[in-house]
Amino acid sequence: MLTPKRAYFPLRERRGLFQEFAALEPTQEGIVQFANQWGFLQEGAVYGIRLAVEYDGQVSGESFEIWQHAILAMRCAVHVWRLVEKRDATSLSRLIQSHTDPERGVVGWLFKEHDLPNLGNSFLDGDAVPPMRTSPDVVEVGRCFVAAWINLSLGQAGGCNLFQIWSPVRRKYGIRIVPVTLLAAMWWQFAREFAGEARYDPCKVCGRQMEIGSGAFREDREFCTPACRQKDHRARVKRARELQSKGVSLQKIAKQLETSSEVIQNWLAKKK
């Protein structure tokens, strides 16, 4: 499908886009749908014409295989990171093995999945892992693998540049890190979560990822837009009325909907 070129800002338009990309089915249908919405992974790269855009009569595109590899690389890195967050040493031990030397002991670690595209899975030097007081901590080793993959993948995706960007709110220029490609933007989002600069939670209504904290959304935010907040409110009021019609007490309705009896009473007193 040929689509016109358009300007867009993925870091603004879709928080946590890297999670959607990691969960994307690496099928031609799924990839084309994602590409039609967000464009090339690496603007200007020409690998084939399976995913194509026409500019001034000239067709360029990126191959199906390039997209498959990029999806699987992101999926693996995010999966390992989730295990690290949970400190799931058992699952990580199934993926990571130590490389020992008879004289030096543990000198590195190997990620067992050898077919990972775009991710370094060779021995990770033991010096790259923070010093361990006792035996090597597989959780920290997993963390180091993810950090290495982010660095490697950001570079392969085109990296980021520093720009002076005008802020209409602060009314002054400021230095900003700007990814140069869509793929770099998604790895940049992931890098910010990895570094603890951002957290991404789904909207309670639509499931769209919201960036929590770091000046974006409040820590207790549940909805991505006022429209989703209103939709949730209407659904809760409807549910309260349904429970009342079944003879459920005010106190039990309030408990089920996780609010106060006074709020429920106000909902039920209003006309439909």
Residue 48 has pLDDT above 50, yes or no: no
pLDDT-derived band at 46 (thresholds 50, 70, 90) equals very low
pLDDT at residue 133, rounded to an integer: 44
For range 69-73, the mean pLDDT: 90
pLDDT at residue 190, rounded to an integer: 93
For range 86-101, the mean pLDDT: 84
Q: pLDDT (tens digit, 9 = 90+) per residue, 175-208?
A: 878 888 889 989 998 998 898 887 777 777 776 7
> Which has more pLDDT, 27 or 132?
27
Q: How many degrees, rounded to 5, is the angle at CA 208 between CA 207 and CA 214?
A: 120
For range 12-16, the mean pLDDT: 69
Residue 47 has pLDDT above 60, yes or no: no
pLDDT at residue 179, rounded to an integer: 84
Q: Residue 107 burial (CB < 10 Å; 0-12/13-18/19+)?
A: middle
For range 141-165, the mean pLDDT: 86
52-66, 113-127, 170-184, 186-200: the lowest-pLDDT one: 113-127
pLDDT at residue 21, rounded to an integer: 93
Residue reference for tokens 């890297």: 18
pLDDT at residue 88, rounded to an integer: 94
pLDDT-derived band at 107 (thresholds 50, 70, 90) equals low
Residue 13 has pLDDT above 70, yes or no: no
Strand-pair category, 172-179 with 160-167: antiparallel
